[in-house]
Structure 1
Amino acid sequence: MRRTEKEKSMPPGELLRQAENQLVSALCGIRENPDGWLPHTVYVEEEGDCPVYTMYRLLDIRKDGGCTLYNPQTGEHFTSRHLREINIEWLVTLWERYLELRPEKRAASVPETCPGKGTDIRVFVWYCGLTGRNVSDDRLVRMWKESPLRSTENPEDETLYEVECLTLDELAERINDDCFAYTEDYVRFIDMGHL
């Protein structure tokens, strides 16, 4: 599915929130848990002097997105947590594991734009001075393959720029680690299967 112009110009954080919402919605829509799916290991980033990732076992998911988490180190059960508290990388892992255990559900139950639907979603990141944000998907992929390149916006700029191609997990890691240049880079999500 091609992204709209509005989606192409959204900040990366907003696109990540959309992906998270789609994953949470898909997980809440599961009517029957396949054998061996839950409990499942997940990680939650929790507040402290610095970010702390705590391992939990996800025991159940409710239709409203609520869930029960078990901390094996402390033996505590938390019955009023929410799927959105789980790091997005682990929501993707949870969804992919569900698909592995219920392969007949792939075509029928996964939202068209949800990561993991047998698509090959890649995140393209490039410096805003290299080319405009409205560059076509085909041209952007060609630029990635031909990188490094000089700016198409400024013929006098002799700097060589890269177009990066990341997975969703790699983008999430970069955002979570505050290693993303929000004001300098453009981002595009492209389903490589549709090119």
Structure 2
Amino acid sequence: MARRVLAALAALAALAGCGAPASAPPPPPVSASSFNDTDVMYLQMSIAHHRQGIDLVRLAAGRPVRAQVADLAKAIELTQAEEVESMTGWLAEWGKPAHTDPDPGAHKAHGGLPLTAPDTIESLRTTTDGEFERRFVTVLTGHQHGAVEMARAELAGGVSHSARALADRVVRSRKGQIEQLLGLTGQPG
């Protein structure tokens, strides 16, 4: 078990990488005994990451952005809210807390908690309308890369069918979102 956890933590530190919104949350776990520490860590870190992502995409509401950007932001908000609900439920079933230590130093051993820096989000919040969309797309692209990093680590070391199914969906969906975002900037995906 310890080797698996260490392998998963090493994988998280080494991986980097993000797509289209999903339609329904994965099914609930089969049993509470079908998870490991990697699954718990993934869900806890993903909840924090998703909640920050929801706050991030809400910044686009009411700002002068293209329809594609507004639609993608709304889809991300809805999808990630559904995913947070599923992840929180699984952790509750497993008797584990839904929160993770917000101190970045607590996550150094496994590559860190890939949250977007609070000052970056605050800067985006105060960005002028003329610059907002370009900066928003850039920040959101980086944020979605963090989701892929964590999901790949889960796929490398997790055992929960539900958490792994979610991680697989996150990799595919966030990669699609990144391609859309890069397309909006004129960059190749």
**TM-score of the aligned structures, taking structure 2 as reference length:** 0.30
**TM-score of the aligned structures, taking structure 1 as reference length:** 0.30
Instruction: Indicate the structure with greater helix content.
Output: 2
Q: Determine which structure has more spread, i.e. the larger CA radius of gyration.
A: 1
Instruction: Indicate the structure with greater strand content.
Output: 1
Higher relative contact order, chain-length normalized (CA < 8 Å, sep 6+): 2
